[in-house]
Amino acid sequence: MVILPLTQAILIFGAFAALVAGAGYLYSTGDITLPDNLAFPVYSLPVTQIVLLAVYLAACLWVIFFFNGCNHFMLSSAVAIWYFKSGSPCCESLWRLFRYHSGSVAFTSLINGVFFLIRLIANIFSFDVK
């Protein structure tokens, strides 16, 4: 069982709330038409809005993986600092993250996001139909 630290849980919840709100806004900008003899309106999205929605969802997924990667880096760096020298492990880990390794964490989170999508698609297609 994985237990998230409170700050990471708050950041991921905030990113997920922004994902839902932004995706809802992008979806609501489509065109609504009311054809004759239908009980419900027809809702259509242009291709540009569909592409924009896909890019937005991918960026939000990347942000969630970035927060997760920052948490992993902070934890491993704080343990290394605590074990090998004295000082403030949390502050020094945060300094290392923002000063030297934010690009590495961002690139790794991009790779993790791509592999997450590949794994998700593979799991969807791997179910046996009985």
E strands in 34-80: 42-44
Q: Quick count: other Cβ atoms within 10 Å of Cβ 88?
A: 12
- DSSP assignment of 13-26 equals HHHHHHHHHHHHHH
pTM value is 0.75
> Does 30 map to a domain?
yes
> Does 63 map to a domain?
yes
Of 22-36, 50-64, 66-80, 101-115, highest mean pLDDT:
101-115
User: What are the backbone dihedrals phi and psi of residue 36, each rounded to the nearest 5 degrees, phi first?
Assistant: -70, 145
Residue with tokens 């923002």: 98
Which domain range does residue 44 map to? 6-125
> Does 130 map to a domain?
no
> Does 1 map to a domain?
no
Q: pLDDT for 48-89, tens place per residue?
A: 888 888 888 889 889 989 988 988 898 888 888 888 887 788
> Does 119 map to a domain?
yes
Residue with tokens 């998230």: 4
Domain count of the fold of the chain? 1
